[in-house]
Amino acid sequence: MDTFFSGFSIELPENEIPQLLTIDGIKAVYPDVEYETGTVGEEIPITEEEFSPHMLDSGPFIGNEDAFDLGFTGDGVTVAVIDTGVDYTHPDLASSFGSYKGYDFVDNDEDPQETPPGDPRGNQTNHGTHVAGTVAGNGLVTGIAPDADLLAYRVLGPGGSGTTANVIAGIERAVLDGADIMNLSLGNTLNDPDFATSIALDQAMADGVVAVTSNGNSGPNNWTVGSPGTSRDAISVGATQLPFPEYSAALSSGSASFDSAEVMGFPSELELLRLNDGDFEVVDVGIGAPEDFEDVDVEGKIALMVRGDLPFVEKADNAEAAGATGAIIFNNVAGEQPDVPGLSVPTIKLSLEDGQQLQSQITQGNNTVSFDLDFEREVGETVADFSSRGPVMNTWMIKPDVSAPGVAIVSTVPTHDSSNPHGYSSMQGTSMASPHVAGAAALLLEADPNASVDHVRSALMNTAESLYDADGNAYPFNTQGTGSIRLVEALTVDSTVSPGSHSFGIFTEEDGIQTKRSSFTINNVSDQRQAYGFDIEFHGNPSGITAMSSSDIALQPGDSGEVRLNIQVNPDLLEQDYYEGTITVQSLTDTIEVPTILFVGEPDYPRITSLNVLETDEINEFDVVANVPRGAEELGFWVYDAQTGEYLVLQIRIPT
């Protein structure tokens, strides 16, 4: 790589790696770690006959149809999909590709097609095609920017995994091929802003290419964002679930009631509420595999299944195929079961104890159940539990930057069958959220082809909708970023504030009372003079934090102005924690809220972010390699016998 990332990949014995750093001109060495696509749970295939435009609810929710009405469809903008390849023959995507499709870094040719079935190196892929459909589908699937041009770069091969070297090569090639935007719905687990892929995206942004990447699927804990979502400048995207109705559930069989009953999922409210119509015969079908239904009549009945062996989605699909009206799935261990939106039959979940009790009822001949399902409330757009959280180590930046729909997203997938090329599927993950933002960026660049990457990033961040959990509590900034993107608001913004979020870093008792200075830039992108006022407030107004900003300013159309911030922190008056605040910029037409954060004391980041145990040539001797991002005064390991659980007294040598 020599255009914007100055480096090369090399294969050599690991004991020679330290010698690389002794060579003049080599500044850093990175492991060629594995990257994977970011999806959660099982993919739900959808046939062309089953497909309905109503399934495409995420685009209209964030405003793509309203953007179309304004005349913006992504025309003239090129988006690079850096992924598992793309099925450029798919009827919904073919018009988005020209004669040059992109590049395949797995097989080193200009045919970036998805991995087909039967590849001896691993499983077939469809991830990149799904991403591409969300960006620019133009058929049964309508993407966020349906008239955008696409380029595909296959950097993840069979099974959906790839290497650092290929990802960086794909980024560089996309820039050289003239992409305006790149989408990377992929990542690793390294929370490191200085890892190679994060640096590559920083440079792509510096070169004027809008870089959008998924934040990761390792939530809901903090510090789970991985590279390249840790990039300083790229737009990192978290995943949300669209609003949904919540129902209470009561289940009884004769005189027995099952207090653990809850709604797991359903295809429609109408089908769910039909379970209130009288008693239903319930049939125990074991784990719910296809063969469990072969000699059993469940037509118009309820299928009782135990959790395990098969995904919940498959169990519900098998029940529907056998004619069941609904399903009950009970746990196979103590604890909770997840909600699974969009199951093909109305499905109620039970605890292990209640499920076994219902089985006993059936054995005794009490094989009817009745339901009492009531609407409880409408839950608004919420952050998906799996969505990775920030902040980023070392820079202490807030990540994600923004969020977008990423649960049960229907889009294109390859069929590898030219006689039946219409393939569709529902997937979820931050991989599905990121292309919503890449498509949004295409609309913004069509609206203003001269817009800077900073404008695109800031317009999306400044106009995002703040998100609240099901109980009405605002999500932390490290969970939602600035919120969920809204296309029309971003397209029609009068002012932007850059950067769109801010971190003041760490304050410690050892340093006493400290003052830090920072600044942000206001851009007047309207056609009239704008006056601006500022305010900065930390949530809860904690004593020990004093914030000040410069005086109000006024800007002529097209002008920019710098606003200075001073913050004074007395750690002695504050608990060791992180503190969120909001910088509010107000004009006659806009109110922009910019998230900020600071840390008092050592942040609660993971002390070890990766750990590998490597065999050596000696018997019972191993090398243990740990990534300790902030260093350590002491590093210890507790090692136990795998068979007996007995603690082993070992000789551990830690080189300095």
Q: Please tell me what DSSP assigns to residue 466.
A: P
Quick check: is 479 in a domain? Answer: no
Do 314 and 223 have their domain in common?
no
Looking at residue 650, what is its pLDDT?
63
Stretch among 278-292, 340-354, 391-405, 490-504 having the lowest mean pLDDT: 340-354
**DSSP class per residue in 535-604:** EEEETT--TTEEEEE---EEE-TT-EEEEEEEEEE-GGGS-SEEEEEEEEEE-SS-EEEEEEEEEESS--
Do 596 and 615 have their domain in common?
no
Do 537 and 621 have their domain in common?
no
Stretch among 97-106, 230-239, 509-518, 576-585 having the lowest mean pLDDT: 509-518
Quick check: is 8 in a domain? Answer: no
Q: Please tell me what DSSP assigns to residue 11.
A: -
Quick check: is 485 in a domain? Answer: no
Residue type, 556: Q
Looking at residue 232, what is its pLDDT?
97
Active site residue 422: no
Give residue-wise pLDDT tens across range 123-177. 999 999 999 999 999 999 999 999 999 999 999 999 999 999 999 999 999 999 9
Do 217 and 235 have their domain in common?
yes
Active site residue 83: yes
SS3 134: helix
Last residue of a domain, one of 447, 462, 477: 462
Do 79 and 22 have their domain in common?
yes
Domain that holds residue 566: 494-600
Looking at residue 388, what is its pLDDT?
96
Do 339 and 430 have their domain in common?
no
Do 420 and 315 have their domain in common?
no
Alpha-carbon span 110 to 94, nearest angstrom: 16
The answer to whether residue 53 scores a pLDDT higher than 90 is: no
Average pLDDT, the chain: 92
The answer to whether residue 568 scores a pLDDT higher than 60 is: yes
Nearest to 225 by CA among 212, 238, 234: 238
Here the CATH number for the domain that contains residue 277 is 3.50.30.30
Do 275 and 424 have their domain in common?
no
Looking at residue 84, what is its pLDDT?
98
- What's the predicted TM-score (pTM) here? 0.85
Domain total in the chain = 4
Give residue-wise pLDDT tens across range 247-297. 999 999 988 899 999 999 898 899 999 999 999 999 999 999 999 999 899
Last residue of a domain, one of 344, 379, 414: 379
Which residues are bridge partners to 369 per DSSP?
Answer: 280
Here the CATH number for the domain that contains residue 205 is 3.40.50.200
Do 252 and 390 have their domain in common?
no
Alpha-carbon span 218 to 421, nearest angstrom: 34
Looking at residue 323, what is its pLDDT?
95
The answer to whether residue 654 scores a pLDDT higher than 70 is: no
Do 229 and 374 have their domain in common?
no
Q: Are 361 and 254 in contact (CB under 8 A)?
A: yes
- Report H helices in 388-449: 430-447
Quick check: is 477 in a domain? Answer: no
Looking at residue 559, what is its pLDDT?
97
Last residue of a domain, one of 579, 600, 621: 600
Do 85 and 213 have their domain in common?
yes
Quick check: is 476 in a domain? Answer: no
The CA-CA-CA angle for residues 310, 311, 312, to 5°, reads 115
Looking at residue 311, what is its pLDDT?
82
The answer to whether residue 656 scores a pLDDT higher than 70 is: no
Do 73 and 205 have their domain in common?
yes
Active site residue 572: no
pLDDT band at 362 (very low <50, low <70, confident <90, very high): very high
Q: Can you tell me the mean pLDDT for 472-478?
A: 96
**From the candidates 58, 92, 104, 127, which is the catalytic residue?**
127
Quick check: is 481 in a domain? Answer: no
The answer to whether residue 342 scores a pLDDT higher than 80 is: no
Q: Can you tell me the mean pLDDT for 528-540?
A: 94
Looking at residue 643, what is its pLDDT?
79
**From the candidates 96, 236, 431, 503, which is the catalytic residue?**
431
Looking at residue 653, what is its pLDDT?
61
